[in-house]
Structure 1
Amino acid sequence: MTCVTLEVGPTDVQGETRVRRSVHSATELVSSVRDDIKTLYDIIRYSARVRPNLQAMGYRKVIKMIEEEKEVTKMVGGEPVKEKKTWKYFKLSSYNWLSYRDVEVITLSIGSGLIKLGLQPKAKITVFGATSANWLLVAHGAFSQSMTIVTVYDTLGEEGLLHSMNEAE
């Protein structure tokens, strides 16, 4: 197996392991491993050019939501109290994969769509939803057009959503 990192820095910091650094930047910290890669957009373009058919992004589909009711015991005021709780589980598909080329095409299509909707570079867009492959593709689409994303997670509820949208700078 090829080693891709190496240890650097002091060896005697008690209770800590040594710092590890990429073999590509063994002697100094670098902000980019290649002169032509400065942004996430550059990484997507480079990866699609160099390894277009390799697996880049995996996702699984929810096939079925399984609900089970279980009786649990919890302590209330020092006394055990039994209550029924509904547990939810997902049955998921096998992994589906997007190639680096797929990711590039979808990312650029989303970015073009944002421009077509009238958004401009430096615009802020709110991405509302659970983190997923689609969420990530929308984020990269925005980045491809120099837009900023404001993440609002679906767990925040309506009040959290409104607060995040109003407070984003």
Structure 2
Amino acid sequence: LVNINLTGTLHLNSSFILKVRIEADATTNSVHEFSYSQHHVCESIKLQLQHVFVLVEDMDYLQYIGGLIGVSALTGVAAASAYLYVTRPLPEVPLVPLHDQSPILEMPCCTTVEPIRVPIDMSKQSEIMRGPEQIHVSKFYKESKNGKFVNYISEDAQTLYETFRKGAYESNNGPCLGWRESLSSPYSWMNFNETLLRAKNFGSGLIEIGIQPRSLVGVYSQNRPEWVLFEQGAYCYSLVVVPLYDTLGPDACAFIIKQTDMSTIIVDDDKKANLLLDKAPRGLKKLITIQSVRPATLQRAKNRGVDIHTFDEIERLGAQGDHPEVAPTPDDICTICYTSGTTGNPKGVTLTHKNVVAGVCAVLLQLGEHRPGVNDVMMSFLPLAHMLERW
């Protein structure tokens, strides 16, 4: 708190005495008094208060506007200046010296790692064909000169059904799917042959409960081995995989089920089963649950005319029925992936086996010698409902 009491006395010779009383601290009641003659006031006034300086310069105009009026003007200027300087916040001390915010450190690892070699000269990635059009073609694929696009790398791996079996052969029945129940538990593994057998049994089980080859089947689950078992089982019978995911929401899921006319959806838990039952179109007839569901959910599904089967049950039915496989062709549809629907209803993107295999081959060509090998392990961290993760 700063109170300034300033008085002046006017004499016949136009000289006056200026008194300044400053009460700077309400707690200590410290009082400072200063007296100045007219001569001092007209030149400058400096008030020193606890290392705070208030400087009023060039007050010559006081002699023209009158002593008393000038004193009043000086009072306002001094009061405002003193209050501003006394109450201003103290500067913050920086955490680090401002002149040395980003010290340069030597990182040995940056000098020991060899640069990644690319399969072609990065400054000459394309080749110009003869002719006035000056068409550029990629050097990654030799047949691009003839206007042919890459569709596959191996003759015996042109569909997702064939590529999985190619992996089993190349790895000599190596480890295929790994998972762990918790962060502290070790990984469990299924080899290729076990994965192929379980996938085939599950696909056969879908046929056993009345689903016809090339039908659309949905999956609404987090990443887990059963997701891949279902997908590969679907390809054994040319079924079309339609993934659903949480960010779609109940209304969008109901829209997709109705648009695709799906009768069967695989879900991983009780919660997702109930979400689908909340908005279930009449066309939904079967739910296959990976985990067990509550009796109340079973009754609710029954009331809506929806049958609930367990994943294990479908596998057992498939093993007993042992339906012959119906392998897809490259031009058969393998999946319909829906957008998130941020600008309206979700939009389905239809992809054939040829589409997906060609995309994978393009990536392998660009990776060159760094492409994944039989001893490499891919860590799955994106949702399997995303095509980037499934590729």
TM-score tier (shorter): 0.5 to 0.7
Deviations, residues 7-32 of structure 1 (Å, cap 9, x unaligned): 2675389xxxxx895xxxx5345322
Over the aligned positions, Cα root-mean-square deviation in angstroms equals 3.1
Q: Which amino acid aligns with 2:235?
A: F
Match of residue 53 from structure 1: 173
Question: Does the alignment pair 1:115 with 2:176?
Answer: no
Higher relative contact order (CA 8 A, sep 6+): 1
CA distance in 2, matches of 1:165, 1:140: 21
SS at match of 2:211: coil
Match of residue 153 from structure 1: 245
Higher strand share: 1
Match of residue 256 from structure 2: 164
SS at match of 2:219: strand
**How far does residue 51 in structure 1 lie from its aligned partner after superposition?**
2.8
Task: Identify if the C-alpha distance between structure 1 residues 154 and 52 changes in structure 2 by more than 3 Å, giving closer, same or farther.
Answer: farther
Task: Identify if the C-alpha distance between structure 1 residues 93 and 5 changes in structure 2 by more than 3 Å, giving closer, same or farther.
Answer: farther
CA distance in 1, matches of 2:194, 2:233: 13
Any stretches of 5+ residues in structure 2 without a counterpart?
Answer: 1-115, 127-137, 144-148, 261-347, 349-391
Question: Does the alignment pair 1:131 with 2:246?
Answer: no
Checking the alignment, whether the CA contact within 8 Å between 1:53 and 1:100 is kept in structure 2 is yes
Task: Identify if the C-alpha distance between structure 1 residues 36 and 156 changes in structure 2 by more than 3 Å, giving closer, same or farther.
Answer: same
**How far does residue 113 in structure 1 lie from its aligned partner after superposition?**
1.0
Alignment counterpart, residue 152 of structure 2, candidates 32, 37, 61: 32
CA distance in 1, matches of 2:247, 2:185: 24
Match of residue 162 from structure 2: 42
Any stretches of 5+ residues in structure 1 without a counterpart?
Answer: 14-18, 64-90
Task: Identify if the C-alpha distance between structure 1 residues 118 and 12 changes in structure 2 by more than 3 Å, giving closer, same or farther.
Answer: closer
Q: Which amino acid aligns with 2:142?
A: T
Match of residue 120 from structure 2: 7
TM-score by length of 2: 0.30
Q: Which amino acid aligns with 1:158?
A: P
Structure index of larger Rg: 2
SS at match of 1:33: coil
Aligned length: 130
Task: Identify if the C-alpha distance between structure 1 residues 4 and 99 changes in structure 2 by more than 3 Å, giving closer, same or farther.
Answer: farther
CA distance in 2, matches of 1:154, 1:126: 13
CA distance in 2, matches of 1:130, 1:116: 25
SS at match of 1:142: helix
CA distance in 1, matches of 2:245, 2:230: 14
SS at match of 1:98: strand
Higher helix share: 2
